[in-house]
Structure 1
Amino acid sequence: MRPASCAPHYCGVTPLYSFEGKSPRGDPTAWIAPTATLIGDVTVGPGASVWYGATIQDGAVIGARTLIAAGAMVGPGTEVPPEVVAMGVPAKRQVPLAGGPKVWVDHNAEIYRELARRHAAGTSPVEDSGKQ
């Protein structure tokens, strides 16, 4: 689930929970924010990104190159198709990547992948030193 090249804080902070003996799994090219929560038999496809505060529940399948928006909740058994943006609670609205939006995403996809890489490498917990 976690890429070998991920920063230690990313590898150790993302809340992953097994449910009834099944655990989340995903492609090593996917990016999952450290505050996203994955529960149970969840699959995250290649190049997908799951942003801050999102919750993915048991049985959900996230397609390739799909973006799960910050704060979204993907319910149990939901299949989010490849190349869409899913948002909301529950994540029902899906914006397909077709026509003009697809062209925009194709040109900006590397920007979002780089942003995900920057977040994976550059985000770390803030330790409370007791000093204000």
Structure 2
Amino acid sequence: MPVILPVKEIHPKWGEKCFIAPNATIVGDVTMGDNCSVWFNAVIRGDVNSITIGNDSNIQDGAVIHATYLKAATFIGNRVSVGHNAIVHGCEVKDHVLIGMGAIVMDNAIIEEYCIIA
């Protein structure tokens, strides 16, 4: 079973037809749209700020999605793919973006539509 936990009584929520791998972790203030997938060993940690993930996006194996305490929430748009072992932290990733395997996107970065981050 995936680890899905509230933080300060805020529970993660997601839309229809989402897949969450058995050992994925999703905690706190996390909202995901429809048709999303969160793969093995991925962590989405909305403990210190909110994380929003749009429709048809996928968080691949070992990726970490986090936010910055009191400064930067994390927003991931529609049809975004966050590659294996990537880190997305306190930033905005707009629609139709590929965050490549092992890439790191940090606080206050804005990734525009149709970009590839390697």
SS across alignment from 2:29: coil
Secondary structure at the counterpart of residue 91 of structure 1:
strand
**1:22-101 correspondence runs (5 A):** 22-58=10-46, 59-76=50-67, 77-87=73-83, 88-91=85-88, 94-95=97-98
The offset of 1:38, in angstroms, is 0.4
Root-mean-square deviation (Å): 2.3
Counterpart of 2:4 (choices 5, 16, 19) is 16
In the TM superposition, what is the alpha-carbon distance from 1:28 to its structure 2 partner?
A: 2.6
**Unpaired segments ≥5 residues, structure 2:** 68-72, 100-112
- Say which structure is richer in helix: 1
Percent sequence identity over aligned pairs: 27
1:41 partner letter? D
Q: How many residues align?
A: 87
| Unpaired segments ≥5 residues, structure 1 | 1-12, 99-132
User: Which structure has greater strand proportion?
Assistant: 2
How far the C-alpha of 1:95 sits from its partner, in A, is 0.8
Write the distance in 1 (CA, Å) between the matches of 2:17 and 2:37.
9
The secondary structure found in structure 2 opposite 1:40 is strand
> Segments of 4+ in structure 1 off by > 6 A?
none
TM-score w.r.t. structure 2 length?
Answer: 0.65
- CA contact under 8 A between 1:80 and 1:86: conserved in structure 2? no
Offset at 1:30?
Answer: 1.0
Q: What TM-score results when the alignment is normalised by the length of structure 1?
A: 0.59
Mapped partners of 1:53, 1:95: distance in 2: 19
